[in-house]
Amino acid sequence: MKRGSRVAWIMFCCMLPALTVLAAAIGQPVARPMVAQIALDGPIGPAAAEYFDDASKRAVADGAAAIVLRLDTPGGLADSMRQIIAGMLASKVPVLVYVAPAGARAASAGTYILYAGQIAAMAPATHLGAATPVALGGGRPMPLPKAGRQPASATTTADDQTAADDAESHKAMNDAIAYIRSLAQLRGRNAAWAEQAVRGAATLTASEAAQQQVIDFVAADVAELLARADGRKVRVGERDVTLQLKGASVREYAPGARTRFLAIITNPTIAYLLLLAGIFGLALEAMHPGAMLPGIAGGICLLVGLYALQLLPVNYAGLALMALGVGLLVAEAANPSVGAFGVGGLVSFVTGSVMLMNTGVPGYGVNLGVIAGIAVCAAGLLVLIVWLVFRSRRAHPVTGDAAMLMDTGELLEPVSAGGEAWMLVRGERWRVRCDTALPAGARVRVVSRQGLLLQVEPA
């Protein structure tokens, strides 16, 4: 009996640590998974690409189970779009792309990003599509030529140029089609409609996209998105992952200070204004050396504006026309003419401003109201300069011999015929000679000057 109780006591002592660990585990609450939310609102550009790259890396480092990429964009730059998609494909955690809130869209570049996500979802009253690529010059790809169609003359320069342009357009379109089809095949989505979105700018509403297997489902909010994605098996890199997201906590990842600054200066209108401020600041410094402030501020604005322009779809012919226009306007202000320099500069400046940005890329055109306002101000300044020039030509001289001739004054003392005396003219005492005898206080007119001696006659 003693031996049996001794064995039971030994078994209890061996099981005691395991029981203690089990009791502690039962007493602790189960940790909920954390999901990171990244919001891309507005045009897809360098700032958006850098924001997603930085936020996704921070989310993975913080132990996020998945990333919700909330999308609302009219499209943007192809290079930035591809950078975001490359980051999504290389991500160590699943990326759930969610077009929201109601009224949002995933147009153009947004359609490609939606196709790249492991889970694609949309909120009600949203839409996607119109993913036709736009060339840098703003033109849209031409439709593919019909089979058997040949140019009428192989030696015609215009036909050769058109054929070259068509070839470039077809290359861009075929590349875009292959890219979005590869994403569709990777995620098991409707590749045929993806091609229609690129080739024919097709669009779909959220419910239509779900019916045609373009997206996985429609979700009213992020909580429903996570609940409906829970339990789905997705592929992350080379491994299959089952999503465990129901009841997960959501943490917002806001853009950093550098990303916000980059987003401000890469706004086409802001970059345009920075460029103008820099040019005019340096022009003022050149016209008034030593002022310092216009030169320093202008140099900073010009460098920041040029940095922003090299990140944007800039037409360099438009930039050259703007520079020529500003130069002509400055020349008109420095050496006023009859307005030829000013009118030419104004026309060149406005034309270059309109051409500066590729307005075919969604969200990347300079605000025409800003251009119009600056053009009106420049035109007003030009009219003022021309008016001042003509007024100055009609005005009487105010300095030198020309101003003094025919001026009148008062004799301070009597003068004999052919003699000399003193007179007061323009508040100054001058020695005068007169061929006519006149008493003191008589009014006389200056007719010529010989050194410091004035020749006068009765007024």
pLDDT band at 354 (very low <50, low <70, confident <90, very high): confident
pLDDT band at 6 (very low <50, low <70, confident <90, very high): low
Most confident range (mean pLDDT) of 53-57, 197-201, 275-279, 416-420 is 53-57
pLDDT of residue 408: 84
Decide: 445 and 437 in contact? Cβ < 8 Å. Answer: no
pLDDT band at 192 (very low <50, low <70, confident <90, very high): very high
Q: Is the pLDDT of residue 28 over 60?
A: no
* pTM score above 0.95: no
pLDDT band at 399 (very low <50, low <70, confident <90, very high): low
Q: Is the pLDDT of residue 16 over 50?
A: yes
Q: Is 446 helix (H, G, I), strand (E, B) or coil?
A: strand
Third-level CATH fold of 407-458: OB fold (Dihydrolipoamide Acetyltransferase, E2P) (2.40.50)
Question: Which strands make up the sheet holding 127-129, listed edge to edge?
Answer: 105-107, 127-129, 203-205
Among residues 48, 30, 28, 46, which one has the least CA distance to residue 38?
48
Please give the backbone phi and psi of residue 313, each rounded to the nearest 5 degrees, phi first: -75, 85
Q: Is the pLDDT of residue 338 over 80?
A: no
- pLDDT per residue as tens digits for the range 131-169: 877 644 344 444 444 434 444 444 445 455 555 556 777
CATH architecture for segment(s) 34-136+164-257: Alpha-Beta Complex (3.90)
**Better pLDDT: 395 or 345:** 345
Please count the other Cβ atoms lying within 10 Å of the Cβ belonging to residue 29: 5
pLDDT of residue 242: 92
Decide: 282 and 295 in contact? Cβ < 8 Å. Answer: yes
**Better pLDDT: 161 or 204:** 204
Beta bridge partners of 249: 34
- pLDDT per residue as tens digits for the range 54-108: 999 999 999 999 999 999 999 888 889 999 999 999 999 999 999 999 999 999 8
Decide: 432 and 438 in contact? Cβ < 8 Å. Answer: no
pLDDT of residue 132: 78
Question: Position of tokens 């077809």?
Answer: 170
- What Cα–Cα distance (Å) separates residue 423 from each residue in 274, 398, 399, 456? 60, 19, 19, 10
Range 229-246 average pLDDT: 90
pLDDT band at 404 (very low <50, low <70, confident <90, very high): confident
- What Cα–Cα distance (Å) separates residue 353 from each residue in 65, 274, 307, 366, 371? 47, 13, 18, 8, 7
Locate the domains of the chain by residue range. Answer: 34-136+164-257, 267-394, 407-458
- pLDDT per residue as tens digits for the range 104-131: 999 989 999 999 999 999 999 999 988 8
Among residues 411, 414, 403, which one has the least CA distance to residue 430?
411
φ/ψ bin of 292: left (φ > 0), alpha (ψ from -120 to 50), beta (otherwise):
left
> What residue ranges in 58-181 does DSSP mark as E strands?
66-72, 95-99, 105-107, 119-122, 127-129
- pLDDT per residue as tens digits for the range 290-312: 878 888 998 999 899 888 887 77
What percentage of the chain carries pLDDT values higher than 70? 80
